[in-house]
Amino acid sequence: MPKALDEITHDAIELTRHERLTLARILLDLDAPAMDEDVDTKWDAEIRARLAAYDEGRVQAEPYDEVRARMQRRFGR
């Protein structure tokens, strides 16, 4: 007989942060639509296009420290 939701929730609370995040990813993936078989190829093309745009001066990079500070102000630590 499957565990009741409250038992599963109690068990999940006792997991480490990493284990809870892993469990959350597994649960989200259960209902995720099937990935496009060409997703790696498409991401590779996107990465190459973004690098080319940077190399050609069509976009500018921001220093990591500035981006990190902006994210911390927006979302907290």
Q: What is the pLDDT of residues 17-43, one digit of tens each?
A: 999 999 999 999 888 777 777 888 999
Total-model pTM: 0.45
Supply the pLDDT for residue 64.
94
% of residues, the chain, pLDDT over 70? 96
| Residue 49 identity (one-letter amino acid) | A
Q: What is the pLDDT of residues 38-74, one digit of tens each?
A: 888 999 999 999 999 999 999 999 999 999 999 999 9
Tokens 């599963």, located at residue? 8
Please report, to the nearest 10 degrees, the dihedral formed by the alpha carbons of residues 12, 33, 40, 38 taken in order: 160
Can you give the residue ranges of every domain in the chain? 1-32, 35-77
- Distance (Å, whole) CA 5 – CA 31: 18
